[in-house]
Amino acid sequence: MTGTIDIQERILGTRCCGDEPLTDLTATTAQELSDDFLIFGHPIRLQILHMLGRNAGQVCVCDLEAALPVKQPTVSHHLRLLREAGLIDCERQGLWAYYFINRTAVAQRWAAISAYLQPLV
């Protein structure tokens, strides 16, 4: 048969009915986007980001704990994940930690996610 491609010889990402690749989303980029979805994909983390984003300054950890429907260890866990992701940071003042959002990092993550979800026109 001439003009056909053996399924075993087909290159990953090529199409049988067209010349353009089906995707430009590499496995590495897909993993990065998946990690972003995971960090944004929890209601407590979204509530924390929302509270910090609505405040121009810093928010005391005690205020975050009082506003969330979970216990202190769970709040600390989610704060740690958001800090590790670079979406928030904190400063210690005495016994208390004051949190603030990294607006640039949040915007960059949303832009990266949006770029791969927009249809090509």
30-42: pLDDT as tens digits: 899 999 999 999 9
62-101: pLDDT as tens digits: 999 999 999 999 999 999 999 999 999 999 999 999 999 9
> How many angstroms separate the CA atoms of 90 and 79, rounded?
9
> How many angstroms separate the CA atoms of 79 and 74, rounded?
9
Taken in order of first residue, the domains within the chain and their CATH numbers are 27-117 (1.10.10.10)
> How many angstroms separate the CA atoms of 47 and 64, rounded?
9
From the list 75, 100, 85, 101, the residue with the least C-alpha distance to 40 is 85
Global pTM reads 0.78
